[in-house]
Structure 1
Amino acid sequence: MSSPIATIRYFTTPSTWVEGEAIRQLERVAALPGMLKVAAFPDLHPGKGGPVGAAMLSEGIFYPYLVGSDVGCGMTLCPTDFESAKARPEKWAKKLKGLEEPLSEEEIAEYLPDSSTIAPEMYPSFGTIGLGNHFVEILKCKDLHHEASFKNSGLHQSALAILVHSGSRGYGERLLRSHVDKHRDGGLIAGSLEANQYLADHDRCIAWARHNRYAAACRLFRQIDPAATINRGDDWCHNSVTVNEYDGKQCFLHRKGAAAAEGTQLVIPGSRGSLTYLVRPTAEKPEENLWSLAHGAGRKWGRSECEGRLRERYSADSFRKTRLGSYVVCDDKALLYEEAPQAYKDIEAIIADLVSFGLIEVIATFTPILTYKVRGR
């Protein structure tokens, strides 16, 4: 199979800082056999083996390692009927507990339509978000720019919404490990038995992660108000490989830390001390940005360097309340430093870049009032 260097398109302005290693990773991806096009977004940063904040299109072959171990990682935005004016985030932050505990099989069945497709060893993880940059966040609407688009999403300006960021937990890790043990960073040929098996398992991970996010949203908010209505909202996957038609050919679209922009709207959050944006994709030629957009602010610092950079100026406790006045539930001191707002790029700059390229229009902004990460027993 021939391997000309694929075209790389950067949707970033000169004012947006991108780490050199992320660019080198993109260039290595562009040189892979079968790779046609690569799109990089302003949240681009280096990942384990491949770039995060990019979409990559190939023909005849696809690469599971580019999707990574958290297949199906993404976000769900769930509307509620709970009035924002009645929110008591400081009180709620103190009462939330037990969200890392396993659900019963009866509870799992409530959220997972066909639990028989899931290996029993994955049951304990269902309804939990994991660690890293995953969270459940309660939001209130700050500014509304396009009322009709906002209402079409089922959201209400005066009611709270729940944003969940999580993935397939250990499910995706097992899938990648089974591939890497045999193929390392090699690709799978389209139509082969191994490719078809991977894609079938991949789709189960995607579905599992989507249902898991809704379960996590309900689980948290029912501790606050058992009678509240929590609707299944829009869901956006950030780590996946899908079959897409391009130039009359069936190709494979890899997304790693890139949001699918094929619907009418999507959410792009910042760090814990920043606003979250609900946006409408507006690209005139969406194939140029590979039907994808930035998925968030993107990391500025590696996890291992955060505490060293911040410890002398900030205590871990100082990150339990943000500059916006929101509360952060996190009993893991190291994670508080790793997820500090300073460790991420400026979400306003990310949004401005996307607007400047004509890729999005802002529908509304949200302010976080409570973010749940992890609570000890």
Structure 2
Amino acid sequence: MTSAARPAVINRFFSGSAWIEGAALNQLDEMSRLPGVLEIAAFPDLHPGKYGATGVALLSSRLHPLLIGNDIGCGMSLFALDLPLRKLKIDRAVERLRRLETQAIGEAGDLLAEAGLPVDLAPDALGTIGGGNHFCELQAVETLAEGAGAAGLDDQGLYLLVRSGSRALGAAVFSETVAAHSGLAAGLDPGSETGSAWLASHDRCVAWASLNRRLIAARAAAALRADLSLIADIPHNLVRRSDRGFVHYKGAAAVTTGELAPIAGSRASLSHLVVAGAGISRSLGGISHGAGRKYDRATMHGRVGRNRSEREQLLRNSWGGIAICDDRALVVEEAASAYKDAGQVVSDLENEGLIVGLASLRPLVTFKKAVDEAEVEQRRRKPDYRREGGRGHERY
């Protein structure tokens, strides 16, 4: 990572109670020395990431595509359903949501055009969640603070929290940018042709990702035979122009004062809805977007899910909630214990005057990845290579 001589100011918006790895702090220090970097805000979900720590807002006079990475425009959207909690049967909801990505969403070209995007911009990927930490989760209110009703929440309602990004579109932009610029660690001049071209591609990815989250939610609502309305749509992987330069949100929710924002927990812990306070003027307009990882993916394989019984247990939570995840590795890597305490994150942000908590929401059905029945049957018909001494692919 290319470094400048004089480090930028780093403002830390977390307490001594926050779980912050030394590796993340080292990356933060390296980021403060990047060319053009003027100021950094670091949040309580801070954790090590590729090309720098994740959970930061960074102001720079130059563009740093490496910090934004390949999932340009990744964010979270919260929707209210017109389906009351009393009518929910979790097993039936699981059965219906397994078919989420098969629900019709209309002509992709028309949807892209309505969003002001080219009709040939990754139409086949629209309405798909992706892998890793992406999800669509059916939630119910656990606690409500004063003023939550004005935000559209009530304790008898059901909600959808969707996290996804620009899928292969952002990955293609990132790969092309890396291939074309050998000195990318130094960033791009925003006034140059290459800088302007990256910004234009970035803006399309951000708009596409927002549309994608809306269509994922529409598919989930259709599967549940419900209508939905948007409460909040907040990206956390993007660049925004400011009067001082360009603010890079690397895993940090980009908000304005008074704006509603979800802060995700895990599939076995509470998520939160907050409202951004006036204090965000001190944090470059950024807050945490989630709990943040406590353990990396590789480490999780030695911690949980050692056998089928343990993996099946990881798919359930104390509220009777169920996760739909037909990927054994993902079940382990995205276990609740991989993440920090979202409640502590919210507490730190509140104490810093950045947000006010409005509600906490419990996970009921979390959709991550489903294998269709035809594929399952095909797998069943394949030989059991484990018995034949070959390499099997046991599912949980």
The verdict on a shared fold, with TM-score over 0.5 as the criterion, is yes
In structure 2, stretches of 5+ residues that fail to align are 373-396
Alignment check: 8 A CA contact 2:265 2:290 kept? yes
CA deviation after TM superposition for structure 1 residue 272, in Å: 0.9
- Pick closer, same or farther for the CA change 1:318–1:99 going to 2, 3 Å: same
Deviates more, 1:164-173 or 1:355-364: 355-364
- Give the secondary-structure state (helix, strand or coil) at the position aligned to 1:308: coil
Q: Measure the CA separation in 1 of the matches of 2:334 and 2:298.
A: 11
Q: Measure the CA separation in 2 of the matches of 1:193 and 1:258.
A: 28
Q: Measure the CA separation in 1 of the matches of 2:328 and 2:256.
A: 38
- 1:139 paired residue number: 139
Q: Measure the CA separation in 2 of the matches of 1:268 and 1:129.
A: 18
Q: Measure the CA separation in 2 of the matches of 1:114 and 1:185.
A: 33
Q: Deviations over 1:119-178 (max 9, x none)?
A: 35x22211001010000011111211123xx34433444221111000000111111111
CA deviation after TM superposition for structure 1 residue 308, in Å: 1.3
Q: Measure the CA separation in 1 of the matches of 2:46 and 2:173.
A: 25
Residue identity matched to 2:229:
N
Alignment check: 8 A CA contact 1:143 1:365 kept? yes
- 2:20 paired residue number: 18
Q: Deviations over 1:102-124 (max 9, x none)?
A: 9676256347614761535x222
Aligned partner of 1:309 among 303, 306, 320 = 303
Q: Deviations over 1:43-85 (max 9, x none)?
A: 00111111110110012x1101111110000011111211111
- 1:252 paired residue number: 246
- Pick closer, same or farther for the CA change 1:111–1:366 going to 2, 3 Å: farther
Aligned partner of 1:343 among 335, 338, 347 = 338
- 1:80 paired residue number: 81
- Pick closer, same or farther for the CA change 1:208–1:9 going to 2, 3 Å: same
In structure 1, stretches of 5+ residues that fail to align are none
- 2:35 paired residue number: 33
CA deviation after TM superposition for structure 1 residue 201, in Å: 1.0
Q: Measure the CA separation in 2 of the matches of 1:233 and 1:279.
A: 11
| Number of aligned residues | 366
Q: List aligned pairs for 1:176-215, cutoff 5 A.
A: 176-183=174-181, 184-215=184-215
Tell me which protein shows more strand as a share of its residues: 1
CA-based RMSD of the aligned residues comes to: 2.1
- 2:44 paired residue number: 42
- 1:370 paired residue number: 365
Which 4+ runs in 1 deviate beyond 6 A?
none
Residue identity matched to 1:203:
D
Alignment check: 8 A CA contact 1:103 1:127 kept? no
- Pick closer, same or farther for the CA change 1:115–1:11 going to 2, 3 Å: closer
- 2:220 paired residue number: 220
- 2:394 paired residue number: none
CA deviation after TM superposition for structure 1 residue 258, in Å: 0.2
Residue identity matched to 2:303:
R
Q: Measure the CA separation in 1 of the matches of 2:343 and 2:103.
A: 37
Q: Measure the CA separation in 1 of the matches of 2:32 and 2:177.
A: 21
Q: Is the aligned partner of 1:295 residue 2:295?
A: no
Aligned partner of 1:281 among 262, 276, 284 = 276
- Pick closer, same or farther for the CA change 1:11–1:115 going to 2, 3 Å: closer
Q: Measure the CA separation in 2 of the matches of 1:350 and 1:112.
A: 38
Identical pairs, percent: 37
What TM-score results when the alignment is normalised by the length of structure 1?
A: 0.91
Q: Measure the CA separation in 2 of the matches of 1:160 and 1:104.
A: 21
Q: Measure the CA separation in 2 of the matches of 1:238 and 1:340.
A: 22
